[in-house]
Amino acid sequence: EDQVTQSPEALRLQEGESSSLNCSYTVSGLRGLFWYRQDPGKGPEFLFTLYSAGEEKEKERLKATLTKKESFLHITAPKPEDSATYLCAVGGGATNKLIFGTGTLLAVQP
Amino acid sequence: DVKVTQSSRYLVKRTGEKVFLECVQDMDHENMFWYRQDPGLGLRLIYFSYDVKMKEKGDIPEGYSVSREKKERFSLILESASTNQTSMYLCASGQKNTGELFFGEGSRLTVL
């Protein structure tokens, strides 16, 4: 059974303090690993897709990396507007069916 | 921009009532999904549909049914609402062979 585990559950950073969020996964065959951002009271918003070990994607202060067992979302010099819940998911393919982790709640204080 | 619109942001229903949650997408996506989101449990897939009139059970289909009569519309039905169905319900759509889902803003259902 496909499984996704995210850590930590919550993370509090000072503005400018870089850190990483972890997503470990067990799947029978990885079709894709996906990162989403969710703001309070809203639906998740797509950030990145990673397909193979060694792949990296960047967007502003965020960089996602992938190994055979886990993915990291690195946040460089975060700002308060980066505060959100970050969700990791595995799946994809023809049906787009995704299995989500429970997320990391990130709070960046000014 | 892709838009996924859910019919109600907030609903309060009584135990035993029938509940309809509707979702419409405007990007001609083949695939549509209903998830529920609960604290500590994350997003769990209830049902999904990969074509008109086609549906497949997700991980927690019990107590729910769905309808997809038109490509752009996917409805979630609670035949007899129960208190354990109090939750945030999220609809999503996406093109096949991508993992990029577009979510609506959610419908927060409270069953008393």
The answer on pLDDT for A103 being more than 70 is yes
pLDDT at B18 over 90: yes
Does residue A92 register a pLDDT over 80?
A: no
Residue B18's nearest CA partner among B81, B85, B88 is B81
State the pLDDT at residue B94: 92
Is the CB of A97 less than 8 angstroms away from the CB of B103? no
User: Which residues from chain B sit within 8 angstroms of residue A102, using beta carbons?
Assistant: 40-42
CA A10 to CA B104: how far, in whole Å? 24
Using pLDDT thresholds of 50, 70 and 90, give the confidence band for residue A104: very high
In angstroms, the CA A92 to CA A88 distance is: 13
SS3 of B21, please?
A: strand
- Which chain A residues contact residue B97 at CB under 8 A? 92-94, 96
* pLDDT(A1) > 90: no
Written as one string, the DSSP assignment of chain A is --EEEEE-SEEEEETT--EEEEEEEE-SS-S-EEEEEE-TTS--EEEEEE-STT-EEEETTEEEEE-SSEEEEEE-S--GGG-EEEEEEEEETTTTEEEE---EEEEEE-
Q: How distant is the Cα of B103 from the closest Cα of chain A, in angstroms?
A: 5
pLDDT of residue B2: 65
**Predicted local confidence at residue B53, as pLDDT:** 92
Give residues 36 to 55 of A whose Cβ lies within 8 Å of B.
Answer: 41-46, 49
- Measuring CA to CA, how many Å separate B96 from each of B21, B69, B110? 23, 19, 32
Q: Per DSSP, what are the bridge partners of residue A71?
A: A23, A66
- Asked if A49's CB is within 8 angstroms of B97's CB, the reply is no
Query: For residue A44, which residues of chain B lie inside 8 Å, CB to CB?
Result: 43, 90, 101, 103
Neighbours of B87 (CB within 10 A): 20
Position with higher pLDDT, B7 vs A18: A18
CB–CB contacts below 8 A, A to B: 70
pLDDT in tens, A47-84: 999 999 999 999 999 999 999 999 999 999 999 999 99
pLDDT tens, B36-80?
A: 999 889 999 999 999 999 999 999 999 999 999 999 999 999 999
Q: Is the pLDDT of residue A99 over 70?
A: yes
